């Protein structure tokens, strides 16, 4: 499959992840007690990955996440030479998804970005008031385990047809744990989109949601490579 089509699939898949996952938070829930709530938002993120895995997994591998792409490179499942192309497509898709969501959400009387627009944050911008260190630790650990799930579920000896289910439910579980801490990222492209819309503090804190997930993904790739080695 040409790299242009694979990157196109990553663009649309990441668009869907941000639009569907963040859209559920912006349009259908508000932390902590109305609408579909944390469970609904967690399921929405999991469902975006599950549905796209079946839709485009055979085209691009359905990474939808710069951290996942890096983890797959570390785990020797993806060529390092194509990492940057995937990152550009994923980031563009994340921004496009967030801008589309903003266009829809701003059509409601009284809409404001003051609620954060599903941006990731720590300290005063953490849903639960968690510190930068707590947020960084959570993002590293949860991303590492997400990569272990992905690498295990897509292993040649695993049940391949069920891999999207395991990965989607894994992302759901990760959100259930992490939303109160940082609004949960584990995905730099997912963080980038809303941060571009909100600007200000969201862009100032964006560094954490690149550094921690990328570090966690690399750690997960190393751990799984060790586990499966002879």
Averaged pLDDT score across all residues of the chain: 94
3-state SS assignment for residue 33 = coil
35: β partners = 29
Give the other-Cβ count within 10 Å of 151's Cβ: 24
What pLDDT score does 229 carry? 81
Residue 173 has pLDDT above 70, yes or no: yes
134: β partners = none
Provide the CA 191 distance to its chain's centre, in angstroms. Answer: 8
Q: What tens digit of pLDDT does each residue of 23-58 get? A: 999 998 755 565 688 899 999 999 999 999 999 999
Distance in angstroms (rounded) separating the CA atoms of residues 41 and 31: 10
Closest-CA residue to 221 (of 155, 161, 117, 145): 145
Work out the pLDDT band at 161, boundaries 50, 70, 90: confident
Closest-CA residue to 224 (of 162, 167, 149, 169): 149
What pLDDT score does 34 carry? 59
Provide the CA 178 distance to its chain's centre, in angstroms. Answer: 12
Q: What tens digit of pLDDT does each residue of 127-143 get? A: 999 999 999 999 999 99
Q: What tens digit of pLDDT does each residue of 84-108 get? A: 999 999 999 999 999 999 999 999 8
What pLDDT score does 30 carry? 57
Q: What percent of the chain has pLDDT over 90?
A: 87
What pLDDT score does 77 carry? 95
- Is the CB of residue 46 less than 8 Å from the CB of residue 172? yes
Give the other-Cβ count within 10 Å of 155's Cβ: 15
What's the average model confidence in pLDDT over 164-183?
97
What pLDDT score does 146 carry? 98
DSSP category for residue 65: S
Distance in angstroms (rounded) separating the CA atoms of residues 211 and 141: 12
Q: Give the tokens for residue 208.
A: 């954490």
Domain boundaries, the chain: 3-108+117-228
What pLDDT score does 32 carry? 56
Distance in angstroms (rounded) separating the CA atoms of residues 221 and 227: 10
- Is the CB of residue 95 less than 8 Å from the CB of residue 193? yes
29: β partners = 35
Work out the pLDDT band at 150, boundaries 50, 70, 90: very high
What pLDDT score does 31 carry? 52
Residue identified by tokens 């003051």 is 114
The CATH class of the 3-108+117-228 domain is: mainly alpha
């Amino acid at each position: 499959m040409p790299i242009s089509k694979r990157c196109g699939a990553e663009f649309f898949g990441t668009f869907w992840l941000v639009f569907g996952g963040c859209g559920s938070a912006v349009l259908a829930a508000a932390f902590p007690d109305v609408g579909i709530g944390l469970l609904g938002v967690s399921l929405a993120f999991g469902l975006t990955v599950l549905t796209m895995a079946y839709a485009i997994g055979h085209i691009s591998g359905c990474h939808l996440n710069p951290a996942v792409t890096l983890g797959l490179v570390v785990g020797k499942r993806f060529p390092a030479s194509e990492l940057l192309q995937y990152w550009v497509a994923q980031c563009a898709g994340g921004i496009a998804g967030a801008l589309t969501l903003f266009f829809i959400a701003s059509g409601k009387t009284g809409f404001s970005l003051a609620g954060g627009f599903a941006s990731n944050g720590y300290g005063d911008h953490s849903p639960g008031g968690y510190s930068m260190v707590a947020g960084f630790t959570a993002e590293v650990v949860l991303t590492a385990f997400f990569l272990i799930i992905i690498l295990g579920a897509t292993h040649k000896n695993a049940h391949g047809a069920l891999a999207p289910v395991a990965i989607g439910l894994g992302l759901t579980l990760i959100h259930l744990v992490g939303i109160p801490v940082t609004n949960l990222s584990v995905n730099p492209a997912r963080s980038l989109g809303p941060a571009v819309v909100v600007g200000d503090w969201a862009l100032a804190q964006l560094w954490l949601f690149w550094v921690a997930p990328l570090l966690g993904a690399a750690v997960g790739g190393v751990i799984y490579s060790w586990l499966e080695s002879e």
